[in-house]
């Protein structure tokens, strides 16, 4: 789960039903989950079925600087004999690529839906990767769902089913070493981490005040825990924990950054006693050089494990 997907999960859980962006957030999250599922299946299949000499490196959710912004790559395959961008689509329906106007639409249950053109997305990603790495880069659109059918194919890039993808990539190998795969991978891994959550929050008009605050009960999902007798307790289901607040702190850091104002911390965790607050923040939100400020020790893996139980 990348940061964008995690942010959608946090917002979907904490935004009230009446918020103007609640339905848009839920819709985006549904699409993001489907996309991640397709990318995971693709990576798993390739690691199992792709047979190439030497090491093959798979990089997911890569953001490469391009012009005034960046190009996002679902999955990048780096090998000594080729580099290939995979644009993974986990969609159902009949697909139509307009080779004249370069538009794209699908027919699903008799409805025509216009969508972003995967070929245009792939072309941008290929150009960004090639320019950044300084090597020729291939590209392919991957259909991760067996319920998708191509009626009109794209003009400039191949589109293949997930089952056929290993064979397609094996055909790209020319039998001679062209690149230093490790060096290319190191260059890509040296890119700064991109966090677009702030612009996403602004687009959906999500602020701290618009969210349900408190430490969420992981069993009930929609109510807050209370700190009683040195533990977090849920009056509704009886759940209790000593460290449930750590997830809440990670959610805050994900959305708003790791700098935490002490005054905000009281509201965020739903406690009033300063000694209780300091005890809760002792190991997870350290004192900073600025009075009244804390630095949350970020741990994305904690959030991945937490939401992995919800969206498994």
| Cα separation, 55 vs 42, whole angstroms | 18
Assign residue 165 the CATH number of its domain: 3.40.1350
Average pLDDT score over residue span 134-145: 92
**Contact status, residue 121 vs residue 157, Cβ threshold 8 Å:** no
- SS3 label, residue 96: strand
Are 40 and 149 members of one domain?
yes
Residues 6+ apart with CB under 8 A from 41: 90, 144, 162
- SS3 label, residue 108: strand
Write down the mean pLDDT value for the chain: 87
Among candidates 118, 4, 11, which has minimal Cα distance to 61?
Answer: 4
Is residue 203, in this structure, part of any structural domain at all?
no
Are 180 and 42 members of one domain?
yes
Predicted confidence at residue 82, as pLDDT, reads 94
Domain ends where: 173, 189, 205?
189
Predicted confidence at residue 282, as pLDDT, reads 86
Is residue 208, in this structure, part of any structural domain at all?
no
pLDDT at 136 over 80: yes
Predicted confidence at residue 179, as pLDDT, reads 86
Are 173 and 299 members of one domain?
no
Q: How would you class 215 by CB atoms within 10 Å of its CB: exposed for 0-12, middle for 13-18, buried for 19 or more?
A: buried
Are 175 and 234 members of one domain?
no
**Contact status, residue 76 vs residue 128, Cβ threshold 8 Å:** no
Among candidates 4, 7, 14, 8, which has minimal Cα distance to 215?
Answer: 14
Other Cβ atoms within 10 Å of 148 Cβ, number: 19
Are 178 and 235 members of one domain?
no
Domain total in the chain: 2
Are 125 and 217 members of one domain?
no
pLDDT band at 114 (very low <50, low <70, confident <90, very high): confident
Are 263 and 133 members of one domain?
no
Instruction: For 38-89, write each residue's pLDDT tens digit.
Output: 888 898 999 999 999 888 999 988 888 888 788 888 899 999 999 999 999 8
- Domain that residue 279 falls in: 213-310
- Per the model's pLDDT, the better-predicted residue between 35 and 113 turns out to be 113
Is residue 196, in this structure, part of any structural domain at all?
no
Are 248 and 147 members of one domain?
no
Is residue 206, in this structure, part of any structural domain at all?
no
pLDDT band at 312 (very low <50, low <70, confident <90, very high): low
Instruction: For 153-198, write each residue's pLDDT tens digit.
Output: 888 899 999 999 999 999 998 777 888 899 999 998 888 766 566 7
Are 218 and 158 members of one domain?
no
Are 71 and 170 members of one domain?
yes
Question: What percentage of the chain reaches a pLDDT higher than 90?
Answer: 26
Are 222 and 170 members of one domain?
no
Are 185 and 291 members of one domain?
no
pLDDT at 240 over 70: yes
Is residue 201, in this structure, part of any structural domain at all?
no
Is residue 104, in this structure, part of any structural domain at all?
yes
């Amino acid at each position: 789960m990348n940061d964008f997907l995690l942010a959608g999960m946090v917002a979907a859980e904490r935004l009230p039903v009446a918020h103007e962006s609640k339905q848009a957030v839920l819709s985006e999250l549904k699409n993001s989950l489907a996309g991640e599922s397709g990318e995971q299946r693709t990576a798993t299949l390739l690691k199992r079925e792709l047979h190439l000499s030497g090491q093959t490196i798979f990089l997911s959710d890569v953001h490469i600087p391009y012009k005034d912004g960046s190009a996002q790559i679902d999955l990048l395959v780096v090998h000594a004999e080729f580099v290939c961008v995979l644009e993974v689509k986990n969609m159902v329906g009949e697909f139509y690529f307009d080779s004249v106007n370069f538009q794209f639409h699908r027919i699903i249950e008799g409805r025509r839906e216009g969508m972003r053109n995967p070929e245009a997305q792939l072309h941008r990603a290929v150009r960004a990767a090639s320019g950044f790495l300084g090597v020729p880069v291939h590209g392919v659109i991957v259909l991760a769902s067996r319920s998708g059918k191509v009626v009109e194919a794209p003009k400039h890039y191949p589109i293949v089913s997930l089952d056929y993808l290993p064979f397609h990539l094996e055909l790209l190998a020319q039998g001679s070493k062209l690149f230093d795969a490790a060096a290319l991978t190191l260059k890509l891994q040296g890119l700064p981490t991109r966090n677009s959550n702030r612009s996403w929050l602004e687009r959906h008009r999500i602020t701290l005040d618009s969210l349900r605050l408190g430490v969420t009960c992981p069993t009930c999902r929609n109510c807050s825990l209370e700190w009683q007798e040195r533990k977090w307790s849920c009056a509704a289901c009886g759940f209790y924990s000593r460290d449930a607040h750590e997830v809440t702190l990670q959610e805050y850091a994900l959305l708003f950054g790791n700098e935490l104002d002490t005054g905000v911390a009281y509201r965020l965790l739903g406690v009033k006693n300063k000694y209780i607050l300091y005890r809760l923040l002792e190991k997870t939100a350290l004192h900073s050089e600025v009075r009244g400020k804390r630095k949350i020790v970020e741990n994305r893996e904690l959030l991945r494990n937490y939401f992995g139980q919800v969206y498994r």
